[in-house]
Amino acid sequence: MEFIELVFGFTNSLLGFAMVVYTAKTLKKSYANDNKKLISYVKTTLLAIMFLSAYSFAHFLREALELKDKFGPIVEIPEYIAIFFVFLILLGQIIFFDAPDDFFK
């Protein structure tokens, strides 16, 4: 069971890295469009993907190196911090991008 978890963790980390690369390419292309709302949306999406990738990689390292057994539950804190920032970023996206324009009047 542990081997399967490591394989999935490594695959998720690679997928997260690929998503960061492709979202950065999308951001670069969106600058040519000169749509400021689209650029801001892609930037915050990129930031959320980066934190999710950091969470995935931290979890993979924790499991691969058995850090929780060596240092205790304190090694889970970076994972919780990464997920907290993802929730914060996604909440900001919902409020500022997905809300109707007359919502703030």
Separation of alpha carbons 101 and 67, rounded Å = 47
From the list 66, 83, 67, 86, the residue with the least C-alpha distance to 75 is 67
pLDDT attached to residue 35: 82
Separation of alpha carbons 45 and 52, rounded Å = 10
Separation of alpha carbons 70 and 61, rounded Å = 13
From the list 11, 92, 9, 22, the residue with the least C-alpha distance to 50 is 22
pLDDT tens for 48-67 read 999 999 999 999 999 899 99
pLDDT per residue rounded down to tens, the chain (105 residues): 588 988 999 999 999 999 999 999 999 988 888 888 888 889 999 999 999 999 999 999 998 999 988 998 898 998 899 999 999 998 888 888 766 665 555
pTM comes to 0.82
